Amino acid sequence: MDLQVVEQLALLDAWVAEGGVAVLSGAGLSTDSGIPDYRGPSGTARRGSPMTYQTFTGDPLARRRYWARSHLGWRTIGGARANDGHRAVTRLQERGLLAGVITQNVDGLHQAAGARDVIELHGNLARVVCLGCGELSGRADLEERLTAANPGFAAVAAGVNPDGDVELDDAEVDGFRVVDCRSCGGVLKPDVVYFGETVPPDRVSRAFSLVAGARTLLVLGSSLTVMSGRRFVLRAVRDGIRVAIVNRGVTRGEPYADLVIDAPLGVVLPNLAMVTDKGGFTNAVTVLKSK
């Protein structure tokens, strides 16, 4: 590791020590929990197009395929545990150094690590919403119902995407039974934002307000490829708020950032959580030099 990276880590250390940090996290933060990202080193290419809201609501066969794939994917997402990076973010929050946390992830791992008042831009796979009556329910209950309705379903997924979807041949979902809302018989959908669906305006407004009141916007594990996350970087730049990015691989936020560090989040963040006047990256530097 060259001197430039060491200096970058020291600068980030100093910025975080000042407090007022708004965190924006992406899929790269959850890769150490066994959930692949889309575009980073652990990402897997999706063969087909992602599910859209219009297709989900308008095509019963597509909806059946989705629930069959998501039923398998939940075994990975639901069983994932918070990693050292999530726990480090929580420790920074407990120390009063964070203005707040915004996440593009739908895995709930920030909360599992103890973080409070997390703004979940795209929702959470652990919740299910009825499109008929609006009732919210837990994913665990739905999984029990799907298992009971499909006792012979024995398909095996090759991998899982960050949104809980998996790749599965159509022949393997033939006969899969979807269950409906217990209360009204309406269509059930994961309480997440699909492509073609807009993030609730109040959620976006809260996130913009959080960024506006921060000293630093710290982006963790996001390529910022989609505007859903990149818009907060653009707003920070417009308002003169410095932007720091820690990510493995290419990020579209680089032209706008004051600091970009290509380094393992599992190394950087735990040491960042030990911020002191002497510098919290002593151990991180030692580990990174050995890689």
How many of the other CB atoms lie within 10 Å of CB of 178?
A: 18
> Which pLDDT score is estimated for 158?
67
Catalytic residue among 71, 86, 110, 122: 122
> Is the pLDDT score of 141 beyond 50?
yes
Grade residue 42 by pLDDT with cuts at 50, 70 and 90: very low
Structural domain span for residue 230:
3-289
> Rounded to an integer, what is the distance from CA 273 to the centroid of its chain?
20
227 and 233 in contact (C-beta within 8 Å)?
A: no
> Which pLDDT score is estimated for 165?
79
| Torsion, CA 66, CA 71, CA 77, CA 80, rounded to 10 | -170
Q: What is the mean pLDDT of the chain?
A: 89
Candidate from 2-6, 70-74, 84-88 with smallest mean pLDDT: 2-6
127 and 137 in contact (C-beta within 8 Å)?
A: yes
Please report, in range form, the residues annotated as the binding site for NAD(+): 26-46, 104-107, 221-223, 247-249, 265
Q: Which residue has the higher pLDDT, 36 or 265?
A: 265
The number of distinct structural domains making up the chain is 1
Grade residue 289 by pLDDT with cuts at 50, 70 and 90: low
Instruction: Give catalytic status of residue 86 as yes or no.
Output: no
- Say how many residues make up the chain: 291
59 and 252 in contact (C-beta within 8 Å)?
A: no
Please report, in range form, the residues annotated as the binding site: 26-46, 104-107, 130, 133, 181, 184, 221-223, 247-249, 265
- The span from the CA of 153 to the CA of 166, in Å, is 15
Can you give the CATH number for the domain in which 204 is found? 3.40.50.1220
pTM above 0.95, yes or no: no
> Which pLDDT score is estimated for 43?
47
Write out the H or E segment, with its range, that includes residue 69.
helix 60-77
